[in-house]
Amino acid sequence: MQDVAAHRVWDTALGQLQLQVTRPNYDTWLKDTVGLNTDNGSFVIGTPSDFVSEWLSTKMGPVIAKTVSGILGRSVDLRYEVVPQGGNGHQADEPPPLAGHSPAPAVISSPSARKRINGKLTFDRFVIGESNRLAAAASLAVSEQPGEVYNPLFIYGGPGLGKTHLLHAIASRASREDRRVLYVTCEQFTNDFVNAISQGRQDEFRRKYRSTDILLVDDIQFLAGKERTQEEFFHTFNDLHADGCQVVLTSDRSPKTIPGLQARLCSRFQWGLLADVQPPDEETRLAIVQAKALEQRIKIGPEVAQLIADRAQDNVRELEGFLNRVTAYANLTRSPITIEGATLAIDALTPPTPPP
């Protein structure tokens, strides 16, 4: 059972720890913990899993003990206990929608049907580090104040770094406020435009793309060289921007370096904010691996997490792929996930680079 005094002490400790550890470490390891009780010189911390308990004990034990001891005015020994999520933890469920009120659906354009966005790609599940902090903060801002800040928002960077995740997160957050949100890839926009011309349905096409509160377009670099599609997107952009509607675009490069992009579009893409995302640093990679393992209920030790983070340095998709491969290898061999098994699984894909 949770002790009220311990709860207050731990809340104070978390406030101090936020200033002492990096944001990825805090969000991954500390945010969902709780103070359970304090007695006989011990302070008990509730965690969501044994893995989190082990990591906090081995990696952050001294700094946590010093912080709690300073608040209590005496030395304490730390203990960890697993508590169910939604029980004594800090993270609360989202409130249900008001009776009789349904949020406006955020949709994805599709040749066959309109689909809801990927509900798993939310801001809560986006691991923030120095490599993506600006893009994440700007995305959250436009989801809460569309058309008022950073319009357009142009996010650029290499593949697998979280650009699409941020678009879905914007759509998910904004749709809660009864806003009309449309997410498409550049290819889908082009196909819709071509089909509209061939079927004489340009007016319907324009109503679809110009009557939304937020337009999210993924991989806008594929407009390059498509003159008529660029012309249509130019007018779509102008109409939305003039009406105070939010436009968010992603690309694998900055506007100025997209070959075959009209100068007037390049200029407009730079009206708001350009936010780049870079390959994650080691600390962020490790936080991503650990967050994905927790999300999928995969129990891996710190050494295995570090191995994956060390071997997949280019993008987040590679990290997820290595984690999935390590897990599959353990399942197929009916063995626990160990550093030896993980090394064998990863080496089959990417042999380690020999030292110079």
**Measured distance CA(247)–CA(239) in Å, rounded:** 11
pLDDT for the residue numbered 246: 96
* 87 pLDDT tier (thresholds 50, 70, 90): very low
Domain assignment of residue 356, yes or no: no
Last residue within a domain, chosen from 276, 299, 331: 276
**Domain check: are 114 and 256 in the same one?**
yes
Same domain flag for 185 and 303: no
pLDDT surpasses 90 at 26 = no
Q: Is residue 223 part of a domain?
A: yes
- Is residue 96, in this structure, part of any structural domain at all? no
Number of domains present in the structure of the chain: 3
Provide the pLDDT for residue 103.
44
Segment 321-343 mean pLDDT: 84
Q: Identify the pLDDT of residue 113.
A: 31
Nearest to 152 by CA among 260, 236, 259, 261: 236
Q: What's 313's domain CATH number? A: 1.10.8.60
The reported pLDDT for the residue numbered 85 is 58
Same domain, 263 and 230: yes
Q: How far is CA 279 from the centre of its chain?
A: 14
- pLDDT at site 208: 92
Same domain, 130 and 231: yes
Last residue of a domain, one of 49, 82, 115: 82
Look at 46-60, 81-95, 99-113, 302-316 and tell me which has the smallest mean pLDDT.
Answer: 99-113
Do 244 and 213 form a contact (C-beta atoms < 8 A)?
Answer: no
CATH of the domain at 47: 3.30.300.180
Same domain, 138 and 228: yes
- Residues 315, 220 share a domain: no
Q: Can you say how many angstroms the Cα of residue 49 is from the centroid of all Cα atoms in its chain?
A: 21
The pLDDT confidence band at residue 257, using thresholds 50, 70 and 90, is very high
Range of the domain at 325: 282-347
Residue 353, pLDDT above cutoff 50: yes
> Does residue 311 register a pLDDT over 80?
yes
Higher pLDDT among residues 257 and 70, named by residue = 257
98 in any annotated domain: no
Query: How does residue 310 score in pLDDT terms, banded at 50, 70 and 90?
Result: confident
Q: Are residues 138 and 113 in the same domain?
A: yes
The per-residue pLDDT for range 91-123, each reduced to its tens digit, is: 333 333 333 434 444 444 433 334 457 888 899
In a domain, 100, yes or no: no
Report the distance separating Cα 181 and Cα 169, nearest Å: 11
The reply to whether 92 falls in a domain is no
- Identify whether residues 129 and 254 lie together within a single domain: yes
**Residues 64 and 119 occupy one common structural domain:** no
311 within a domain of the structure (yes/no): yes
Query: Where does the pLDDT of residue 88 fall: very low under 50, low under 70, confident under 90, or very high at 90 and above?
Result: very low
Q: Are residues 149 and 217 in the same domain?
A: yes
Structure tokens at 237: 């952009």
Of the two residues 268 and 24, the one the predictor is more confident about is 268
Give pLDDT, residue 98. 36
**In the listed set 231, 247, 276, which residue is the last one of a domain according to the structure?**
276
The tokens for 221 are: 């670099």
- Domain containing 197 — which CATH number? 3.40.50.300
Instruction: Return the higher-pLDDT residue of 182 and 94.
Output: 182
pLDDT computed for residue 74 by the predictor:
86
Give percent above pLDDT 90 in the chain. 39
94-108, 182-196, 339-353: range with lowest mean pLDDT: 94-108
In this structure, is residue 157 part of a structural domain?
yes
Whether residues 206 and 298 fall in one domain: no
Whether residues 66 and 122 share a domain: the answer is no
Judge whether residue 167 has pLDDT over 80: yes
Smallest Cα–Cα separation from 116: which of 105, 124, 125? 105
